[in-house]
Amino acid sequence: MKILNLYGSLNGQTEKVALEIEKAAVQAGHNVSTVNLKKEGVLFDLLNYDFTFIGSGVYTWLPGKSVQDWINRQLAYAREKNLILPGSPRIPGKFACVYCTYAGPHTGEAEAVPAIKYMGQLFDHLGITVADEWSVIGAFVPEKMQHFNISGRLGNIEGRPNADDLKQVREKTIGLLGSLQSA
């Protein structure tokens, strides 16, 4: 499969997940292009890819600004090319996985859901099936926020995503891509 692996990472937590996705997909024999949207705001013809991963940290329930800005530019591109059709008919063989890293200090995983849904709408509007949605716990990095790593609803999340979290990402990546190949 030809895979586009997009992410926006402010403090490195989402980048850890994106790089794990890349390693797993390459190990499974796929062609992967990984792009940090914080550094590169390029546009893509998403229909040229069989599968797109997109991930971001969560900031007040939404993806980071670099990812939101990219989605807005990508949406304008899609409209300009008349790629968004009434009813958003599914395009066979085109899939996406939307994920985020989140700390959820106040309401837990519920803080991640709006960001995931926001990112998924771009693909859904294009007719690309959102095959999965993941939320991965990620500790706060900024020193002024680190107290949330031990006092939030999720308990002690220091050091997350950790090796076990990244192993789950690797396994989910391999399982998801494998399930679509055999379909």
Quickly state the pLDDT bin for 182 (edges 50, 70, 90). low
Query: pLDDT tens for residues 126-155?
Result: 999 999 999 999 999 999 999 999 999 999
| Cα torsion angle, 108, 142, 160, 173, sign | positive
| Distance in angstroms (rounded) separating the CA atoms of residues 136 and 8 | 14
Quickly state the pLDDT bin for 181 (edges 50, 70, 90). confident
Lookup result for tokens 């991963």:
53
| Distance in angstroms (rounded) separating the CA atoms of residues 38 and 25 | 22
pTM of the model: 0.95
Contacts of 158 (CB under 8 A, 6+ apart): 139, 149, 150
